[in-house]
Structure 1
Amino acid sequence: MKTHVKALVVGGGAIGASVAYHLAKAGWQDVVLLERDELTSGSTWHAAGLLPLFNMSYATTHIHQYSVEFYKTLEAETGLNAGFSIVGNLRMAQSKARMDEYMVYATTAETCGVPYEWLTPAQIKERWPLVRTEDLEGAIYHPTDGYINPADVTMAMAKGARQRGVEVIRKRQVDGYEWTGSEWIVRGRVMVEKGGNLVPSEETFEIRAEHVVTCTGNHAQRTAQLLGIKIPAIPVEHQFIVTEPDPALVEYRKTHGEHPVLRDADAKWYVREERGGWILGPYERGAPARFEYGVPDSFRADLFPLDLERIEEEYMSMIHRIPSTETVGLKDDFNGPICYTPDGNPLVGPAPGLRNMWLAEGFSFGITAAGGTGYYLAQMMVEGEAEIDMASLDPKRYGSWMTTEYAARKNEECYEHVYILHHPDEEREACRPLRTAPVYDAQAALGAQFGCVNGWERPNYYAVEPKSSVAQSGTDGARPAPQGGRSAPPHGAGAILGQSEVQPIQGFSDHDSRSFRRGGWWEFARQEAEAIRHGVGLIDATAFTKHTVTGAGATAFLDWFTCNRLPKVGRINLTYALTEAGTTRTEYTIVRLGEQSYYLVSAGAWTAYDADYLRKAAEDFTAEHGAPVVIHDVTSQHGVFAIAGPKSRDVLKELIKDPDPDTALSNKRFPWLSARQIELGMCPVNAIRVAYTGELGWELHHPIEMQRYLWNALLAAGEKHGMRLVGARAQNWLRQEKSYRAFGTELGRDATPAEAGLDRFIDLEKAFFGKEAMLAKGIRSKCVTLLVDGPADADPWGREALYLGDERVGRLTSGGYSVHFGKSIGMGYVKPELAEVGTKLKVKMFDQLWDAEVVEDSPYDPKNTTIRVDG
């Protein structure tokens, strides 16, 4: 066994075999894979081997698509047949809402090159007469999909890895990791059979590795303990049963080919053929998490007792859908652990706080994801970044606040939600509320309907209705105004309602308001957006990520770390940190407090992600230059309210303590893109004159312990000015009217800031990290804003394909409704030559193409006159 290697892969299931294979294929020599038992002895051996392409995630869809294509090549390379049965995948729908879900998904599939077909109930019945169809609305069919033998495909990848020089070693358990500053020392013991169990022997081993990848599956909690980190990957029980041969199926197969994998999402199961019978895999309610604190030593390739009562409903629905199964007996059953994460996406990428330690954990669809995970993770390790944005799978999307209890309960929920309608506006309920701002209860009492961002509760919108004495707002939106001008208010007197003019709707259900089209929340968000455009609104932005950067090296470090010039003291700027590959890693608003003192604000969903990158970069800079840089995460110390709209200055004048309150907020004393320490009543506030909505406004960063006081003061001051409480959904619409890019949508690790159209925030006169790589990439695509003449009852969600004639030429990354233009709006990426203003395109929504036109950046108020207005 080698003792010094380039990369050590820990775990010999499908994921580990693929990672080892792809690292070797990418050119790395000296790769070793360790497995504590036998290859495939984890969840791989009892996996059903399905290869579902259906996924709402852009990155995960790419991963799955790569796997399907890659598995088809293995036999030619290795001589091993992986048992890939390309039978297709038929995903049936019992409701129109389910068909809407499939249509929303389908356009994501198009952007990733995944083929699909639509089938009517009659067409399903004609092709597969054993399936009952009279209660179906239709189906989506993937002809290139199917299933594979999990053990065979793992062995094929392992053989391919060996052929490329990888050493695969079984019966080796890792017991410890030590980082020396330049490499990992991995220590462990040789495992031996004893009384039917696998136990550690006295024989030890030690390997020094430049890089380590953990692919430990059900053992992820043990891995987390050894590394001193948190990994929210905990298994959940998954049952599937195998029936005896079905005479009707046997007879059918005499003259017909194999059925596709059948999925009745509304019944929460999949079914596929198995030697003349059927395999039923349900995703039922009540499946428990297991091994929260580690897998017992006695548990090897074992199973749990079957709980048939728990899956009775799903079993009966299979009989309904395939009536011939009613008299067929059960042949076999499986109930094994399958790893999950709180959001269902795996954890792929650098481990938090550690150098050269990579995670590939938490795979609930491990066979489907194995090939693509190995491919894209190898790109990250070898080339510095993958060709697609892998941020949605990054292990650091969960912070240190995450506990074992949280992960276990959320993973159970995620399992239960595999076949529940995946509304783009859904908010799942388990483990909430957890992280709350001091005004959470007050917001809830005023009708707030919350979303969850990095564990924080954040108002999405306020479910309110006008008091009886106030006229209801019209529902037909704003009348369009010329570009650059202010839109006219909605029809009807008194349509812009302040908070004192509305009251919470009793018994309102956010769950019932979700939709793939315009949900029940849409009108509330529209009114909130109008309130900011024409009056004043207050947004809770406490979830923002906040860091301080200080020390003798702070200025030099940030100048190297970000691509824009640094602001002067008392000023702010918007800037970007790049990846090694020159793409966008993080967006920051930088507030310069002093010569060597900075306050950084970034996206609330990415606190641990940003903190890890920032600290590692600062460590590297200090090691090279010697000047100390001190980083502090102060996210939980400061609350943030954003006040915006033409009347926002009027509200703040009511509260500001200043010798001359009438001029304290003027352009002369408090210009746009500046920051000042002010006092609002008794609350000290770090006020930043910036607004994510494109209106006159300020962010009010305040001590979290004073938030209730400031909230009450703002509401009282805002009452006479008709101030309205506003949620994140209206803000998202408004920022698109200004073409403000958002991290995780327009901004990510697959596009450079230049491709995102952010040239004005890139200072090419200075040196900064990633500059050369960014310039070398050139402009492969370009970010644009489009106005869409879409369906009357729907807006784009930001995952739709863009067409020029019959050619797919791009995709949306954000979508919503524009109150200024009275129509749908979206942002996305197209070929550079199509980024010109006036270009006519089509956007795919609900299986139809709708007119879309590229408009100028910041189509609402392109000259920023409303933001700069004086007073």
Structure 2
Amino acid sequence: MPEIPAHARAVIIGGGVIGCSVAYHLTKLGWTDVVLLERKQLTSGTTWHAAGLIAQLRATANMTKLAKYSQELYGDLEAETGVATGFKRCGSITVALTEERREEIFRQAAMARAFGVEVDEITPDEIKARYAHLNLENVVAGVYLDKDGQGDPANIAQALAKGARQRGGVVAERTKATGVTREGRRITGVDWQGEDGTSGHIACDHVVNCAGMWGRDVGLMLNTNVPLQACEHFYIVTESIPGLTQLPVLRVPDEHAYYKEDAGKILLGAFEPVSKPWGPIPDSFEFDQLPEDFDHFEPILEKAVARMPMLAEAGIHTFFNGPESFTPDDAYHLGLAPEMDNVWVAAGFNSIGIQSAGGAGMALAQWMQDGAKPFDLGDVDISRMQPFQGNKTYLMDRSTETLGLLYADHFPYRQKATARGVRRTPFHQHLAQQGAVFGELAGWERANWFAEEGQSPDYAYSWKRQNFFDNVRAEHMAVRENVGMYDMSSFGKLRVEGPEAEAFLNYVCGADMSVPVGKIVYTQFLNPAGGIEADVTVTRLAETAYLVVTPAATRLADQTWMMRRAREREAQVVITDVTAGEGVLAVMGPNARKLLQAVSPADFSNAVNPFGTAQEIEIGMGLARVHRVTYVGELGWEVYVSADMAGHVFETLYEAGQGMGLTLCGMHMMDTCRIEKGFRHFSHDITCEDHVLEAGLGFAVKTAKPDFIGRDAVLRKKDAGLNARMVQFRLTDPEPLLYHNEPILRDGEIVGYLSSGAYGHALGGAMGLGYVPCKGESVEQVLASRYQIDVAGTLVDAEASLKPMYDPKSERVKL
């Protein structure tokens, strides 16, 4: 065992491929005092039995960037370290057995081109030419990625570990992290125990949880929430097959199977629809296998033998069952834990750890070095996880589904089926009784759309128009033409209070917070580069109290951002999450004022309650606070009511609305209306790497303020000019649908991709937002081009605008 130092800049807990990658990349940045602690041997948890598939294409541009980095790194690692990684670019094929799957993989192929990944859509005959052993029955199409590959997972990890050692890092095997010392929000040291009876303590500046399927328990030791669950993962390896040569990796997601040729044998793996959670993990676990369950695997094998007839002749050499860790949303956990200020996480890789490890280790190391994300990592940022999601019962239930979702149809709007109903708004039962069809976000059950009488209140998924398309259109037009009401209770509500509340928010926010009581301000939290960390409204409730309203999914991240800034400045403020304390009903549409006047004696006129102001009101027999703002581009109010009176206020508004055609609406309507109005969606259209001026949100930044985060970057961008602009698009053909990531073509060349998409029911076509490069160009030059959107390989003409296509002067919100 190597000598373990008494102090380290970073202690990494866990010696799988992820921990080894973090150690490798930290030392590459010059962190020589890095210690990796592995309880047993390197790779002995999950890494050693991973299939080693290395694919470039992921669901978003930045996740694809990380996967591409991994395969490029592995290609060079052997030369650097002398450790054979077994990496080879054999290519990969994904086949579709249905028209719906074909649309999915063709949309992925279009997305790949926008992300700079080489990809080809191929016919069944072209699939057969590359994979002669495949039975083409029901095969309708495929996609081929030439630079995808496979490698030896254990050796990749060993090569990364050796690279870390060569640069001064310490890798200590058979050395368990047994405890920590803590001061407030920092871990100051890690206790360790060697299998040889030695023990010690490492004082440290940072701790990184790379403990894989032990990540949740290590997280608890470090006072952090790391929701993940081990599941059984099955594959078989055949006997040697005479004449079998190198083949591309093959995925047949409609049959839940993948195939890999290795040394003249075939490995057949499965991501079955209903998986098997596993645990607790024995203390002795090391390179262990789990009991065989042939009955569980047999349905996969039967389809595989029909799909690959040579398997019928090949004997089974190995039937393997080993554990892998899965997260509640099938995205891995990366980043600075919200509960602590020096505890980092890289865990829960959902069976894509090998292809992700290189990029994830690089991104986390850079984040640790700079104190800021190197680019948008919102998909995997650990701060997206809600505190309740660490609940063991919840994780066990959800993990029965998440493994299978890897190969499920990834339909738009697809909802998780398991672990539902945890968080419900005060209006949940009222909405359910009226036909609400619920979706889940951050654990919240949210009414997404409303079924008509006699219509099944369930999703029927498709890449085409889904069964709720007409329902959402009716809700959309009700808000545009009359009045609609929907539940916004899930949005985060953070009270910022104290004698320095105004000064603190002026430092954190781009807009001016020195406003009268009752004023509502739309603003962003900016980072030092001018990127957008949060997109919020701030209402001044009193001289020393403000309410910050955030998207539901980012409430914890936004609260954490503010709390860290408050500690840095030693600001005299208290920041409290009050989300569950109030229900919120949005009343929107040209007749919103009429409805509110019917239930309240308050004055809702422009003179008393103009746009962007709040007032306390009586409503029915209760009390509420109304905020005159909108995310749908119409006259309207958000009605905030304490949870105890929420039911009464809903009934009061609903009953009063029956005589004027009040329509209950859902979240899908809110999305279709906001995209017509060109309103940005945080995490899609605006992220930490999108400059606030290029996002078209300069109006919300007040550089006359002397000191706020991002001010210098905004001024520099004003001087230097924009490199890109957020552009709104509408397809001229009303039939195709847009979701996000569709490539944008300008005069025939791909210049970007849509950051979000939805159908504009009032404007009669699918719409999207996306950034278009414009360095040195005027607005007129940007708009003079011909624009097309690539929809699953078909180019569709699109109108482009820098102003909102719906109500460009915002006259309707001020009626």
TM-score higher than 0.5? yes
User: RMSD value over aligned CA atoms?
Assistant: 1.8
2:158 aligned with 1:211: no
Q: 1:267-289, CA deviations, whole angstroms, 9 ceiling, x for partnerless residues? A: 00101112222111011244321
- Out of 684, 689, 700, the position equivalent to 1:761 is 700
Matches within 5 A, 1:781-792: 781-790=724-733, 792=734
What secondary structure is seen at the aligned counterpart in 2 of 1:184?
Answer: strand
What secondary structure is seen at the aligned counterpart in 2 of 1:720?
Answer: helix
Q: How far did residue 426 of structure 1 move?
A: 0.4
Q: Which of 384-393 and 844-853 deviates more?
A: 384-393
The number of aligned residues is 801
Matches within 5 A, 1:526-541: 526-541=473-488
Contact 1:4-1:209 within 8 A present in 2 as well? yes
Aligned to 2:635: 696
Q: Which of 546-555 and 219-228 deviates more?
A: 219-228
- Out of 610, 623, 631, the position equivalent to 2:575 is 631
Counterpart CA distance in 1 for 2:785 and 2:715 is 26
Counterpart CA distance in 2 for 1:413 and 1:776 is 48
Contact 2:186-2:340 within 8 A present in 1 as well? no
Contact 1:212-1:356 within 8 A present in 2 as well? yes
Structure 1 pair 164–772 and aligned structure 2 pair: CA distance change class (3 A): farther
Contact 1:838-1:853 within 8 A present in 2 as well? no
Aligned to 2:304: 318
Matches within 5 A, 1:382-397: 382-397=369-384
Q: How far did residue 265 of structure 1 move?
A: 0.6
Aligned to 1:451: 439
- AA matched with 1:770: G
Q: How far did residue 812 of structure 1 move?
A: 0.7
2:285 aligned with 1:299: yes
Q: How far did residue 591 of structure 1 move?
A: 0.4
Counterpart CA distance in 1 for 2:69 and 2:725 is 25
Q: How far did residue 508 of structure 1 move?
A: 4.1
Counterpart CA distance in 1 for 2:676 and 2:431 is 27
Q: How far did residue 383 of structure 1 move?
A: 2.2
Aligned to 1:683: 622
- Out of 542, 546, 560, the position equivalent to 1:594 is 542
2:355 aligned with 1:412: no
Matches within 5 A, 1:655-804: 655-658=599-602, 664-766=603-705, 767-775=707-715, 779-790=722-733, 792-804=734-746
Consecutive unaligned residues in structure 2, runs of 5 or more: none
What secondary structure is seen at the aligned counterpart in 1 of 2:193?
Answer: strand
Matches within 5 A, 1:838-849: 838-849=784-795
Contact 1:7-1:31 within 8 A present in 2 as well? yes
What secondary structure is seen at the aligned counterpart in 2 of 1:263?
Answer: strand
2:775 aligned with 1:821: no
What secondary structure is seen at the aligned counterpart in 2 of 1:73?
Answer: helix
Q: How far did residue 106 of structure 1 move?
A: 2.2
Matches within 5 A, 1:212-611: 212-246=207-241, 250-251=242-243, 253=245, 258-291=246-279, 295-364=281-350, 365-402=352-389, 403-464=391-452, 504-510=453-459, 512=460, 514-566=461-513, 567-611=515-559
Consecutive unaligned residues in structure 1, runs of 5 or more: 194-200, 465-503, 659-663
What secondary structure is seen at the aligned counterpart in 1 of 2:625?
Answer: strand
- AA matched with 1:816: A
Q: How far did residue 227 of structure 1 move?
A: 1.7
- AA matched with 2:215: A
Q: Which of 829-838 and 667-676 deviates more?
A: 829-838
Q: How far did residue 350 of structure 1 move?
A: 0.8
Contact 1:694-1:866 within 8 A present in 2 as well? yes
Counterpart CA distance in 1 for 2:784 and 2:483 is 32
Q: How far did residue 789 of structure 1 move?
A: 2.3
Counterpart CA distance in 2 for 1:147 and 1:42 is 20
Aligned to 2:153: 150
Contact 1:385-1:749 within 8 A present in 2 as well? no
- AA matched with 1:111: A
Matches within 5 A, 1:65-144: 65-144=68-147
Counterpart CA distance in 1 for 2:438 and 2:256 is 27
- AA matched with 1:400: P
Aligned to 1:476: none
Counterpart CA distance in 1 for 2:131 and 2:442 is 45
- AA matched with 1:544: F
Matches within 5 A, 1:179-194: 179-180=182-183, 184-192=187-195
Q: How far did residue 773 of structure 1 move?
A: 4.4
Q: How far did residue 235 of structure 1 move?
A: 0.9
Q: How far did residue 580 of structure 1 move?
A: 4.3
Q: How far did residue 175 of structure 1 move?
A: 1.5
Q: 1:229-288, CA deviations, whole angstroms, 9 ceiling, x for partnerless residues? A: 321111111011111123xxx3353xxxx1111111100010111222211101124432
Normalising by structure 1, report the TM-score. Answer: 0.89
Aligned to 1:474: none
Contact 1:447-1:505 within 8 A present in 2 as well? no
Q: How far did residue 541 of structure 1 move?
A: 0.7
Q: Which of 752-761 and 636-645 deviates more?
A: 752-761
- Out of 9, 16, 19, the position equivalent to 2:19 is 16
Q: 1:73-102, CA deviations, whole angstroms, 9 ceiling, x for partnerless residues? A: 112222222101211111111000001111
Contact 1:384-1:580 within 8 A present in 2 as well? no
Counterpart CA distance in 2 for 1:286 and 1:461 is 27
Q: Which of 267-276 and 536-545 deviates more?
A: 267-276
- AA matched with 2:257: W
Counterpart CA distance in 1 for 2:240 and 2:321 is 21
Q: How far did residue 709 of structure 1 move?
A: 1.1
- Out of 174, 177, 181, the position equivalent to 1:174 is 177
Counterpart CA distance in 2 for 1:587 and 1:208 is 38
Q: Which of 230-239 and 163-172 deviates more?
A: 163-172
Structure 1 pair 775–158 and aligned structure 2 pair: CA distance change class (3 A): farther
Q: How far did residue 805 of structure 1 move?
A: 3.5
Contact 1:344-1:411 within 8 A present in 2 as well? no
Q: 1:715-754, CA deviations, whole angstroms, 9 ceiling, x for partnerless residues? A: 1111111111111111111111211111111111111212
Counterpart CA distance in 1 for 2:529 and 2:172 is 34
Contact 2:185-2:340 within 8 A present in 1 as well? no
What secondary structure is seen at the aligned counterpart in 1 of 2:358?
Answer: helix
Q: 1:637-696, CA deviations, whole angstroms, 9 ceiling, x for partnerless residues? A: 0111111110111111100134xxxxx110001111000011111221110001111100
What percent identity do the matched residue pairs reach? 34
Contact 1:185-1:206 within 8 A present in 2 as well? no
Contact 1:104-1:516 within 8 A present in 2 as well? no
Counterpart CA distance in 2 for 1:552 and 1:275 is 70
Contact 1:52-1:145 within 8 A present in 2 as well? yes
Q: How far did residue 327 of structure 1 move?
A: 2.1
Counterpart CA distance in 2 for 1:412 and 1:362 is 15
Contact 1:783-1:828 within 8 A present in 2 as well? yes
- Out of 6, 9, 12, the position equivalent to 1:6 is 9
Counterpart CA distance in 1 for 2:61 and 2:454 is 36
- AA matched with 1:807: E
What secondary structure is seen at the aligned counterpart in 2 of 1:693?
Answer: coil
Structure 1 pair 138–26 and aligned structure 2 pair: CA distance change class (3 A): same
Counterpart CA distance in 2 for 1:579 and 1:4 is 32
Contact 2:524-2:533 within 8 A present in 1 as well? yes
Counterpart CA distance in 2 for 1:389 and 1:342 is 20
Counterpart CA distance in 2 for 1:582 and 1:81 is 43
User: Which contiguous aligned blocks of 4+ residues in structure 1 show a shift greater than 4 angstroms?
Assistant: 773-778
Normalising by structure 2, report the TM-score. Answer: 0.95
What secondary structure is seen at the aligned counterpart in 2 of 1:288?
Answer: coil
Counterpart CA distance in 1 for 2:751 and 2:8 is 43
Contact 2:536-2:550 within 8 A present in 1 as well? yes
